[in-house]
Chain A
């Protein structure tokens, strides 16, 4: 999984540096797919800016993608390379923080690199504050599926503070006209990588990406089957320009793809509007959506826990409500 043989020899990375205040100096791992920087990484940049120091973006990938991404990164305020990161973070490195979004690939990568350097890591932070004088950084992060918030401090004894950022807790860094310099980093050659990539299967969808959508229409077990899930929820989602999400029950029952799962073990979303249809509201599901601005719940069971967090609840059969909703929203 980590250095794919076909790209291992051609890994190129570029560094971008702002020349502003001295320490701290954050290295932000910028993820990209097909030449576009992930919006979650833009949120990680915002978090890094709150440290109040220099920021360097690291873009890693094949030579066909990297230059384009770097061009974009400079205007902003495939990619697996633990060895490269390790080298960049050697004893003489200027970096005080390593930052990434809390995405599948960064979650896999960062703790590994941190451990190689005998450093702890902090996952999924929702806020941070850096004390330059004490060289310590204080973070908040949800624990117990978001039912408690821990405030942890990484003291100065931790040479480099590794953390991943919950993207819904930070806005995306905007583009600016300030250009930053970039420089290429020598790729690291790996003999006999222990892992090779075989294939990637992405779920194709014309709808907005669940993680960043401003509106989400979500369905649970009450949707009965995959056909009714689609035929009921998709027209409403399309009408609202919303992404489609699902509870674990709906995913397990095969009504929706795994990648649509919202919750502690799936995606954490915080859209402007979250509509939950036929979702009871288990702790694990609430962990993934309770920071949404407006929560609408439709459920037949008046005692469903989802109603305790919903701003607007309607006790009714979703199979009657959704078509009526579609009709009336069109008017």
Chain B
């Protein structure tokens, strides 16, 4: 905790480069993973996180002091950082891992993010982490919760609305839960994970894309941060899911009703 009475908000947004959501993925013949020579883009939930950080600044003006984005990934992940910078982030941090290295597990990522946040403490500090609720490649949905746990911070998962009160140093968050939604009030510092409903991410304009090229990207390695990305779980194989064969079409509602009745589905 810094001593100053006026606390300005420093936001950190972790982003991940993932296979584009529209790509129909294919499992590789060796069954070790999926074919990654396809279009990649920023994980959709992370785009929402960046957008939310930028919107917070638009709402809170100067109260948001900095928006930093961070990624852990191969050299190409720098493109993802440029995208985030073009959307409105100020600067970026890139924890570079070798192209051939296995993808870090959520726990490793959370530990690296904790190391980054501890490092940031020497400067402005971090008051708010906004990140996606899950990556659409591994679908684990763990990193935000793990980071909050490691830091001992509050967490607000599956956020569909975020209001920050900088003077009270709290955030009021609406969360998507099974069966409805839930409103919680959290003390800063805080980890928020985004639901799809939170906002509609903007497209970066050409001038902003040009400007983003001048924004700084700081590079690190796992060793710099003192973290080990060796997976703790062993991936034995990756396979295609059983394929479902469509049963063909029927011509009329009568045939459809007949099929339903045949399968035992009638009115209750």
Contacts and interface: CB of A to CB of B under 8 A. Distances in A.
Contacts of A315: 249
A202 B179 contact: yes
Interface in A103-120: 103-105, 107-116, 118-120
Interface stretch (B5-13, B93-101, B155-163): B155-163
A24 interface: no
B41 interface: no
A240 B268 contact: yes
B154 A1 contact: yes
A82 B184 contact: no
B139 A138 contact: no
A194 B154 contact: yes
B156 A195 contact: yes
B248 A155 contact: no
A112 B149 contact: yes
Interface secondary structure of A, over-half rule: mixed
Nearest to A298: B256
Interface residues of A, number: 88
Given A115-B145, A313-B248, A148 B239 contact: yes
Contacts, number: 250
Contacts of B232: 119-120, 154, 157-158
Interface string A199-216: 111110000010100010
Contacts of B179: 202-203, 209, 259
Interface secondary structure of B, over-half rule: mixed
A194 B187 contact: yes
B196 interface: yes
A147 B236 contact: no
B148 interface: yes
Nearest to A118: B107
B244 A309 contact: yes
Interface residues of B, number: 81
Given A1-B184, A195-B154, A312-B256, A148 B234 contact: no
A193 to B, nearest CB: 8
A181 B106 CA distance: 37
B86 interface: no
A221 to B, nearest CB: 16
B241 A142 contact: yes
Nearest to B193: A108
A108 B267 contact: no
B247 A312 contact: yes
B180 A142 contact: no
A253 interface: no
Contacts of B237: 150-151
Contacts of A157: 232
A61 B142 CA distance: 24
B175 interface: yes
Interface string A12-37: 00000000000000000000000000
Nearest to A4: B184
Contacts of A215: 265
A225 B182 CA distance: 26
A112 B139 contact: no
Nearest to B264: A272
A124 B141 CA distance: 10
Given A120-B232, A153-B233, A307-B249, A258 B178 contact: no
Interface string B229-268: 0001111111111001011111111111101100101111
Interface string A309-321: 1111111100001
Interface of A: 1-2, 82, 103-105, 107-116, 118-124, 138, 141-155, 157-158, 194-203, 209, 211, 215, 239-241, 248, 258-259, 264-265, 272-273, 283-284, 290, 294-296, 298, 302, 307-316, 321, 324-325, 328-330
29 contacts: A1-B156, A104-B176, A111-B106, A112-B145, A114-B149, A115-B150, A116-B150, A123-B140, A123-B141, A124-B139, A143-B137, A143-B138, A146-B241, A149-B240, A149-B241, A151-B235, A152-B236, A197-B182, A200-B177, A201-B181, A202-B179, A239-B267, A240-B268, A248-B196, A259-B178, A273-B265, A296-B256, A314-B255, A325-B253
